[in-house]
Amino acid sequence: MSLLKFTLLTVVFIINHFTLINSSTSFVAKVSRDESTSLYTLLLSMKTPLQPTTLLLDLSGKYSWIDCSAGVYISSTHHYIPCNSQQCNSLTSLACSDDCFDQAGPSCHSSSCGLFPENPVINNTVLAQALVDTVGLSVTDGSSVTGKVGVVPNFVLSCSDTSLLRGLPDGVSGLAGLGRFNYSLPSQVYCSAGVYISSTHHYIPCNSHQCNSLTSLACSDDCFDQAGPGCHSSSCGLFPENPVINNTVLAQALVDTVGLSVTDGSSVTGKVGVVPNFVLSCSDTSLLRGLPDGVSGLAGLGRFNYSLPSQVSKVFNSPRVFALCLPSCPNTTEYSGAAFFNTRGPYNFASGVDLSSHLSYTPLIINPIGFTLITYFNYPSAEYFIGLTSIKVDGKQVDINPSLLTIDKNGYGGTILSTITPYTTLHTSIYRPFIQLFKNESMTRNLTISTNPVSPFEVCFNASGMHKMWFGPKVPVIDLVMHSEDVFWKVYGLNSMVKVESEYGEGLWCLGFVDGGDEARTSVVIGGKQMEDNMLQFDLENERLGFSSILEHKSSCIEFNFTDGYWSQPTCSDDCFDQAGPSCHSSSCGLFPENPVINNTVLAQALVDTVGLSVTDGSSVTGKVGVVPNFVLSCSDTSLLRGLPDGVSGLAGLGRFNYSLPSQVSKVFNSPRVFALCLPSCPNTTEYSGAAFFNTRGPYNFASGVDLSSHLSYTPLIINPIGFTLITYFNYPSAEYFIGLTSIKIDGKQVDINPSLLTIDNNGYGGTRLSTITPYTILQTSIYRPFIQLFINESMTHNLTISTNPVSPFEVCFNASGMHKTWFGPKVPVIDLVMHSEDVFWKVYGSNSMVKVEDEYGEGLWCLGFVDGGDEARTSVVIGGKQMEDNMLQFDLENERLGFSSILEHKSSCIEFNFTDGYWSQPSL
């Protein structure tokens, strides 16, 4: 962690210990669509050395499995999970591979944790071993891959034999389980001898803590085959499932390595994040039946501790968030969708729009009853359920029994998302009125219904008379209405219609919804076709699904940049007529830096240089320096310094922008986007400085010895979609920090405020923001008037004498001579700024509410430090610097929340951070 002193515009930086890949690194993996099976595959780097491995993508998969057949699974890092170990139990293992009678290897290891990996295509499973190895994920910046790889060590998956690959796409080696389980994407990869080759794999002992955590129901006590990834005695047993053919086998849990490409949200960076000790399940080749060609197993993304997202999150200590953008085009080297891990965004595709800022959200719902081929008692479903409440076709509501859309006590009903189901499946009593309404609405569009529909579809239209647009065939639009009428998933023709040919060679467009029958376990299963070209963010931290049609932004899921080095150049200053130097360089990037004090800007050049940051342990500076190379800032001439404090050389921008100081420090050190401010109430001297911390959520230790990070209250940070700057940047939200103030109280009595003023309207007006530029809190007139009146009324009960000579800009002042002083400042009515909940409030004591001044007659006064912002104020409440002083304010952009705590309550102040030891001026070079 690092730190630096500050005046008004110079700040303290705190930086976490440098690691190449950590919690702030975003990962991306290629997602492909297999044309022959309509299934989706995920490309990962697995084993050691890292090898490209294609897995079936299963959104509901508890853990991942891989083919461990002889000669296939080769890894130097894999190992096994012992039977009855804690990890084996956590895998919900139901078996133990007690004896392995084959050649020892990834799929044969005695006394290892047994799992039942599932093939969801053919609904089959086998008993296989849990395996631990390494997974690599490409790093992304949100727009493309960076060229780096993030490695997931100790990745848990399940081995299987080749039989479990039946029905999966060609080339698939297993299954990537993304379901709701701690070991989802313990990728069910088949582990037949010679198939899984890795120098890093190892096994999980039976009955170990890890085996138990895998919900292992068996133990591979003896391995009678050649020792290897699929055979290891006394290893943790799992049952990886093939969800295509609905089959499972008893297989061993395996531990190995996974690599993920690093992204910046726009492209891949060229780096790889490695996940060591990745837990998955081995299986034999039989479990691959029915999966796409080339698939090696299954990537489980479900709700489970060993799913792929869960293990990545645990290794990098990051939020449990992943996002999918399924491609609508068949798999080729050019056409891949994207899966993002470790990041809430950005998600930048070719349109240049960050889809993370265009998501609608609906709660994720947990089904308490899980349905798998092997029954795991008392475990909830690993599937992702959402609260669909109705379906509309061209705005008209389908007649549905509401009880079908809720989950009953037996786990039946409700709505799930499935990457295994190719087309949305509806319970018969929903399907019948749905297709009838769709046909009725189609008639109003003069669409010709075919008399020769193609199975499994019932409603098809002649393609010859069908109009096409960017959103696909021009057919009735379907709205899947979520928990609220104004939250709906819009299904355009590209997602609702499937192009086929009839038996007579006639081109048809068929409605891609099918009848699930009267006994359907789940009433609505949203299938892969309807999920394609939608950005879907699974935020398990906040239990919500974010969704947005990428089609609405004139893009598609195949347009993420997986080539290296993608970027665009901003507008350049074409000619420089001054002497060459930092502020004058021809054909360089031009910016408009702003002086917020005098509201002025100039055209200036972007500059890249180095920033040095003092390191702190949270209690003092350590004497070490963290260097931020390639720090981007803007040059300006001296004219832009007008109105700023003496000695200041420029402005440190801490706002909501990729090139703000916190953002750049976070990016360089791969750390959380968190910073904290403790503004001093004393004038600047060498002895009296406040502190700003970067890259850390704490500790924040001041002279009182109390760690303020453990005393923070939290309220959500709110994004104002409309930015107000001197130069207008279209489609960019505000860089300011807004919070959800709901009321103001004085000595417990509420100020009469129109609630609409405290929310942000469609034009970006209203709401509450924080500002270090505004010295005193500004209130819109209709808030200010009742506020000062109530303050005066409450002051009378304190026997305070109001001055008849207030000092501008203040309207309410009191004679200082009769004012009592406490540790919290002048003894005046206490102001509470009430946040999103009545029990979350920011307490403003006299030290923060009152300003010491003298009137024109030399009389000492204490004035209320709140001023009138006028009737036309853009922001209704601007909390100014005075009210922020001696408060610890933590801006946690990772979790979109503000933490706040008065340091005065702990008998300390912001000037009491220890800068005496090791503070640097010039680092040694």
Tens of pLDDT, residue by residue over 191-200, are 444 555 565 5
Secondary structure element (H or E) that encloses residue 921, with its range: none
Q: For 696-714, what is the mean pLDDT?
A: 86
Does residue 20 register a pLDDT over 50? no
Kindly compute the dihedral angle of the four CA atoms of residues 347, 350, 351, 353, in this order, to the nearest 10 degrees.
20
Same domain for 292 and 410, yes or no, is: no
* One-letter identity of residue 906: H
Which of 260-264, 486-490, 602-606 shows the lowest mean pLDDT across its residues?
602-606
pLDDT of residue 5: 29
Radius of gyration of the chain (CA): 31
Per the model's pLDDT, the better-predicted residue between 762 and 605 turns out to be 762
For residues 760 and 596, give the distance between their C-alpha atoms in angstroms, rounded to a whole number: 22
For residues 127 and 487, give the distance between their C-alpha atoms in angstroms, rounded to a whole number: 43
3-state secondary structure 604-657: EEEEEEEEEEEEECCCEEEEEEEEEEEEEEECCCHHHHCCCCCCCCCCCCCCCC
The range of the structural domain enclosing residue 512 comes to 364-534
DSSP 383: S
Of the candidates 300, 322, 302, the one whose C-alpha atom is nearest the C-alpha of residue 537 is 322
Strands 524-526 and 415-417: parallel
Same domain for 231 and 302, yes or no, is: yes
Helix (H, G, I), strand (E, B) or coil at 142: strand
For residues 155 and 308, give the distance between their C-alpha atoms in angstroms, rounded to a whole number: 8
Query: Is there a domain that residue 157 lies in?
Result: yes
Of the candidates 13, 184, 93, the one whose C-alpha atom is nearest the C-alpha of residue 674 is 13
CB 312 within 8 A of CB 188: no
Output the domain CATH number for residue 378. 2.40.70.10
For residues 157 and 174, give the distance between their C-alpha atoms in angstroms, rounded to a whole number: 10
Task: For 98-107, write each residue's pLDDT tens digit.
Answer: 555 455 555 5
Which of 470-479, 833-842, 861-870, 915-924 shows the lowest mean pLDDT across its residues?
915-924
Six token digits for residue 56: 């079936």
Q: Can you say whether the dihedral through the CA atoms of 34, 38, 43, 44 is positive or negative? A: negative
**Residue ending a domain, choose from 651, 686, 713:** 651
Query: Is there a domain that residue 302 lies in?
Result: yes
Of the candidates 131, 174, 179, the one whose C-alpha atom is nearest the C-alpha of residue 154 is 131
Does residue 917 register a pLDDT over 60? no
Which of 160-169, 258-267, 288-297 shows the lowest mean pLDDT across its residues?
160-169
Per the model's pLDDT, the better-predicted residue between 747 and 592 turns out to be 747
pLDDT of residue 473: 92
Other Cβ atoms less than 10 A from the Cβ of 804: the count is 8
CB 780 within 8 A of CB 873: yes
Task: For 223-244, write each residue's pLDDT tens digit.
Answer: 434 445 555 556 788 888 888 8
Same domain for 68 and 181, yes or no, is: yes
7: exposed, middle or buried (Cβ count in 10 Å: 0-12, 13-18, 19+): middle
Same domain for 302 and 178, yes or no, is: yes
Cis before 786 (ω within 30): no
Secondary structure element (H or E) that encloses residue 86, with its range: helix 86-89
DSSP 336: -
Kindly indicate the confidence band of residue 919, based on its pLDDT and cuts at 50, 70 and 90: very low
Does residue 472 register a pLDDT over 80? yes
Same domain for 382 and 524, yes or no, is: yes
For the chain, what is the domain count? 4
Cis before 330 (ω within 30): no
For residues 823 and 815, give the distance between their C-alpha atoms in angstroms, rounded to a whole number: 19
Same domain for 134 and 267, yes or no, is: yes
Q: In what order do the strands lie in the sheet with 831-834?
A: 749-750, 743-746, 831-834, 841-844
DSSP 701: B
pLDDT of residue 438: 97
Q: For 487-512, what is the mean pLDDT?
A: 92
Q: In what order do the strands lie in the sheet with 887-892?
A: 691-694, 674-678, 887-892, 897-902, 713-718, 737-739, 768-770, 877-879, 777-779, 866-868
Other Cβ atoms less than 10 A from the Cβ of 724: the count is 13
Which of 86-90, 219-223, 769-773 shows the lowest mean pLDDT across its residues?
219-223
Residue with tokens 């440098």: 18
Q: Which residues contact 440 (CB under 8 A, 6 or more apart)?
A: none
Same domain for 783 and 845, yes or no, is: yes
CB 217 within 8 A of CB 113: no
Per the model's pLDDT, the better-predicted residue between 556 and 585 turns out to be 556
For residues 899 and 879, give the distance between their C-alpha atoms in angstroms, rounded to a whole number: 15
DSSP 355: G
Task: For 22-71, write each residue's pLDDT tens digit.
Answer: 455 666 676 766 667 766 677 777 776 667 777 777 776 666 677 777 67
Query: Is there a domain that residue 899 lies in?
Result: yes
Does residue 455 register a pLDDT over 60? yes
Q: How far is CA 84 from CA 140, 206, 305, in A?
A: 38, 4, 17
Same domain for 480 and 416, yes or no, is: yes
pLDDT of residue 195: 54
Secondary structure element (H or E) that encloses residue 268, with its range: strand 244-274
Same domain for 744 and 629, yes or no, is: no
Query: Is there a domain that residue 702 lies in?
Result: no
Six token digits for residue 614: 């003092």
Cis before 319 (ω within 30): no
Does residue 810 register a pLDDT over 90? yes
Does residue 812 register a pLDDT over 50? yes
Query: Is there a domain that residue 378 lies in?
Result: yes
Torsion region of 142: left, alpha or beta (phi above 0 gives left; psi -120 to 50 gives alpha):
left
pLDDT of residue 548: 94
Query: Is there a domain that residue 659 lies in?
Result: no
Catalogue the E-assigned strands of 457-582: 460-462, 468-469, 472-473, 478-481, 488-491, 497-501, 507-511, 513-515, 524-526, 534-539, 544-549, 572-573
Residue with tokens 């595709």: 349
The DSSP bridge partners found for residue 706 are none
Of the candidates 564, 565, 532, the one whose C-alpha atom is nearest the C-alpha of residue 550 is 532
Q: For 168-188, what is the mean pLDDT?
A: 64
For residues 770 and 719, give the distance between their C-alpha atoms in angstroms, rounded to a whole number: 12
pLDDT of residue 229: 55
Same domain for 588 and 525, yes or no, is: no
For residues 211 and 213, give the distance between their C-alpha atoms in angstroms, rounded to a whole number: 5
Q: How far is CA 383 from CA 122, 394, 414, 419, in A?
A: 18, 30, 11, 11
**Distance between start and end Cα atoms, the chain:** 20
For residues 641 and 8, give the distance between their C-alpha atoms in angstroms, rounded to a whole number: 13
Per the model's pLDDT, the better-predicted residue between 62 and 851 turns out to be 851
Torsion region of 755: left, alpha or beta (phi above 0 gives left; psi -120 to 50 gives alpha):
alpha
Residue with tokens 């008893």: 250
Question: What are the DSSP calls for 4-48, one per residue?
Answer: ---SSS------PPP-SS-TT-EEEEEEEEETTTTEEEEEEEETT
Same domain for 525 and 587, yes or no, is: no
Q: Kindly report the average pLDDT of the chain as a whole number.
A: 80
Query: Is there a domain that residue 385 lies in?
Result: yes
pTM beyond 0.85: no
Task: For 564-580, write each residue's pLDDT tens digit.
Answer: 432 222 333 333 334 44
Q: For 516-544, what is the mean pLDDT?
A: 96
Kindly indicate the confidence band of residue 15, based on its pLDDT and cuts at 50, 70 and 90: very low
Query: Is there a domain that residue 468 lies in?
Result: yes
Kindly indicate the confidence band of residue 923, based on its pLDDT and cuts at 50, 70 and 90: very low
Helices (H) and strands (E) in the chain, counts: 9, 64
Secondary structure element (H or E) that encloses residue 404, with its range: none
Same domain for 311 and 379, yes or no, is: no
Q: Which residues contact 779 (CB under 8 A, 6 or more apart)?
A: 787, 866, 867, 868, 869, 873, 876, 877
Q: How far is CA 3 from CA 411, 620, 683, 740, 914, in A?
A: 53, 9, 20, 30, 11
CB 887 within 8 A of CB 903: yes
